Structure 1
Amino acid sequence: MDLDRLYSYHLGSNFMARRVVLTPFPTDPQLTTPDALGAAIRAARTASGLTLEEAALAVNVAKQTLGDLEAGKPSVGLGIALRVAKALGVSLFIAPAGKAGAIVQRIREARE
């Protein structure tokens, strides 16, 4: 089930709403650790108003796997991490190390 279908399902159903606590996006745009990637994914999920269970269902991963990813556990496979990031709208960029500083600066300026 993709995110659009999940939203449509919730809009048309009589389910008991669960409270989703918003988590802010990391301030550093460079995702250099599993913790940073997990924080960005959690922020995107909570900004979408999805519970952990709902997001796991939408991207077809186990709730435990998504929880581990959000917690920054490095045991989650790269393919799963990339699929979840894409589904939740977390963009990842690759840049040569020598140019990363300039790109990070541009991202910071764009956020202001």
Structure 2
Amino acid sequence: MKRVVATAFPTDPCVNSPTTLGAAIRAARTQAGMRQEDAALSIGVALQTLVDIEAGKPGVSIGKILQVAQGLGVSLLVVPQSRRDAARRRLADLSEPSS
């Protein structure tokens, strides 16, 4: 069986493209040690749907993307653009290890 290699989450929490969202979903799956086949089966989506999402293909429905994100524990937050920089700073503070 092929070993799953963990990939890192995007450093910027702002999702501004299907590619960025796909990278975050791939990171969640690989950090959980799941193969694409196993993740798709457990979430209840077609393997090709998961492959397309991770590849950043723009044609996947938002409903399927949200289903996969939820199934892998990826949260999507909605923040007004006027508060985006403040939200980035706060999220960066939360992701730093406590001393």
TM-score range, shorter chain: over 0.9
Give the Cα–Cα distance (whole angstroms) in 1 for the partners of residues 58 and 20 of structure 2.
11
Counterpart position of 1:92? 76
Give the Cα–Cα distance (whole angstroms) in 1 for the partners of residues 9 and 91 of structure 2.
13
Give the Cα–Cα distance (whole angstroms) in 2 for the partners of residues 65 and 86 of structure 1.
15
Aligned residues: 96
Counterpart position of 2:17? 33
* Cα distance, 1:102 vs structure 2: 0.4
Q: Identity rate of aligned residues, in percent?
A: 52
Greater Rg over alpha carbons, structure: 1
Residue 57 of structure 1: which of 27, 41, 64 is its match? 41
Residue 47 of structure 1: which of 8, 11, 31 is its match? 31
* Cα distance, 1:95 vs structure 2: 1.1
Would you say 1:104 and 2:82 are equivalent positions?
Answer: no
Give the Cα–Cα distance (whole angstroms) in 2 for the partners of residues 95 and 27 of structure 1.
17
Query: Which consecutive residues of structure 1, in runs of 5 or more, have no partner in the other structure?
Result: 1-16
Query: Which consecutive residues of structure 2, in runs of 5 or more, have no partner in the other structure?
Result: none
Give the Cα–Cα distance (whole angstroms) in 1 for the partners of residues 9 and 79 of structure 2.
21
Residue 73 of structure 1: which of 57, 66, 69 is its match? 57
Q: TM-score with structure 2 length normalisation?
A: 0.93
Give the Cα–Cα distance (whole angstroms) in 1 for the partners of residues 48 and 23 of structure 2.
16
* Cα distance, 1:111 vs structure 2: 1.2
* Cα distance, 1:96 vs structure 2: 1.1
Q: TM-score with structure 1 length normalisation?
A: 0.83
